Amino acid sequence: MANTPSIPKGTRDFSPVEMLRRKYIFGTIEKVFQKYGFLPLETPAMENLSTLTGKYGEEGDRLIFKVLNSGDAWKGVSEEVKEQLAKGEEVHPGKLAGELSDKALRYDLTVPFARYVVQHRNELAFPFKRYQIQPVWRADRPQKGRYREFYQCDADVIGSKSLLNEVELVELTAEVFAALDLQVVIKVNNRKVLSGIAEISGQPEKVVDMVTAIDKLDKIGRAKVEEEMRSKGITDEAITRIAPLFELKGTWAEQRPLLENWLADSAIAQEGLKNLSMVFKTAGDRFVPRDDVHGRATLEFDPTLARGLDYYTGAIFEVKANEGSLQSSICGGGRYDDLTGIFGLKDMSGVGISFGADRIYDVLLELGKFPEELGSSTRVLFANFGENEALHCLKLLRQVREAAIAAELYPDAVKMAKQFKYADDKGIPFVAIIGENEMKQGIVTVKDMKTGEQKAVKEGELLTQLGQG
């Protein structure tokens, strides 16, 4: 080929085999979502740029894919900016992008959901529980497990402050990964506790810097975390004051009294701790190891868990696989108290969880956890011996399909070796052979592709023959 076509950086094609596996993941997640009372929702791939900007932090805004205005996009650029450019002056990239583009690809599913809720507030029954399984786009630099187009599977409850929602989401998460047969750790923390720690440090305005540094503790170690905090303008005194955080070890039950004592002067921290207590008390007993579905996941308190998205205000969750080599998170979420506030609807607290289907795929593939029977859909292939035989097969084909057995007839009367190879390649377990002889006698020769055994059965017995093995 002169010029092999290609696809944009960080995007992928999905072959039939991959799609079957992906659909298995989506289907499993969707079934659990529905079981917990969530209803489906879809929103457009594009949102107004203004809907998305300012919701994900500075870093997030940079990663939003903007869509160039159609027509002559240049026309929309203001005289002021044009003059600046003509003079060779630097124009703030965000400003220029904003004038060339007023649409953008969605960065996640939560913000479009908040927009939807505000826009349709009068039509919705609250608390509103929706799930959404759609692709999102990020202009990130791709790596393993990181793509520019990937799917999120979200479940959110909006319009309820009850902590029972957090409990339900934790249980839902455990159930999804149990259904996928994957051992995971569900880590929980609360932004209020983190805010309280910042308060106690004496520099409450530095929460975000503090928290993003603390988040790296298990990765880069205490010394480097402190170094990063210093570089962000956090004083040595503040760092000393938050030192107890680095000493924390053990289970929630062990850490709780220490935290309550240490953060006694912070009302917000106390509230966060109370929330965590409720979640652990209510959901926690589901996670003692045992043989039923909840035995596959463990629930852990992680005081260093922060999560980057700006809009979280209460509980935060993150899930990591406990097996396989992928160390990044495969699922995350939390409570956001005022996401709809930005769109003009106050007092609408929500909490949600997002499953990263693409990363779950990579983990399941590495561990060989996809069910085997996903490989093939067709159960029987009718070999084609020529026009007469093929027409005869059509009748049987309909009967087989009526019995809800997936079947196909090879469309061309090519040599047998080729037809058998086709069945083999597609993983079709049976081949029905009806040549001149079989036709005359009203029988079908059925070959089991796995064992290689062949059996002649009456046409009427074909269904029962296919039902076995």
Interatomic CA distance for residues 167 and 422, integer angstroms: 50
Q: Residue 325 Cβ, how far from RNA at the closest point, in Å?
A: 10
Q: Residue 168 Cβ, how far from RNA at the closest point, in Å?
A: 19
Taking CA atoms, 299 is separated from 66, 215, 246, 366, in Å, by 38, 18, 20, 24
Contact flag: residue 15 with RNA (CB under 7 A): no
Interatomic CA distance for residues 321 and 369, integer angstroms: 13
Q: Between 263 and 423, whose beta carbon lies closer to RNA? A: 423
Q: Residue 267 Cβ, how far from RNA at the closest point, in Å?
A: 26
Q: Between 202 and 308, whose beta carbon lies closer to RNA? A: 308
**Residues with Cβ < 8 Å from 384, sequence gap 6 or more?**
390, 393, 409, 410, 411, 412, 413, 414, 419
Q: Residue 185 Cβ, how far from RNA at the closest point, in Å?
A: 13
Number of residues that bind RNA (CB under 7 A): 65
Q: Residue 290 Cβ, how far from RNA at the closest point, in Å?
A: 27
Contact flag: residue 156 with RNA (CB under 7 A): no
Contact flag: residue 380 with RNA (CB under 7 A): no
Which of 20, 45, 97, 449 is close enough to bind RNA by CB under 7 A?
449
Interface of this chain with RNA, residues 71 to 130, rule: CB under 7 A:
108
Whole-number CA gyration radius for the chain? 29
Contact flag: residue 281 with RNA (CB under 7 A): no
Which of 15, 70, 143, 261 is close enough to bind RNA by CB under 7 A?
143
**Of 111, 132, 118, the residue nearest 55 (C-alpha):** 111
Q: Residue 232 Cβ, how far from RNA at the closest point, in Å?
A: 10
Contact flag: residue 55 with RNA (CB under 7 A): no
What does the longest C-alpha to C-alpha distance in the chain come to? 95
Interatomic CA distance for residues 256 and 258, integer angstroms: 5
Stretch 242-271: interaction string toward RNA, x if CB under 7 A: ------------------------------
Contact flag: residue 324 with RNA (CB under 7 A): no
Contact flag: residue 445 with RNA (CB under 7 A): yes
**DSSP-derived pairing of the beta strands 103-105 and 46-48:** antiparallel
Contact flag: residue 311 with RNA (CB under 7 A): no
Interatomic CA distance for residues 354 and 249, integer angstroms: 28
| Residue-wise DSSP of 76-107 | GS-HHHHHHHHTT----HHHHHHHH-SEEE-S
Which of 21, 55, 138, 187 is close enough to bind RNA by CB under 7 A?
138
Interface of this chain with RNA, residues 391 to 430, rule: CB under 7 A:
415-418, 420-421, 423-425
Interatomic CA distance for residues 341 and 130, integer angstroms: 19
Strand ranges, E, within 379-462: 380-382, 407-409, 430-433, 443-448, 454-458
**Of 320, 333, 309, 336, the residue nearest 212 (C-alpha):** 309
Which of 162, 388, 454, 464 is close enough to bind RNA by CB under 7 A?
454
Which of 37, 435, 467, 469 is close enough to bind RNA by CB under 7 A?
435
Q: Residue 288 Cβ, how far from RNA at the closest point, in Å?
A: 26
- Segment contacting RNA by CB under 7 A, of 46-54, 180-188, 285-293, 437-445: 437-445
- In three-state form (DSSP H/G/I as H, E/B as E, the rest C), the secondary structure along 168-180 is HHHHHHHHHHHHC
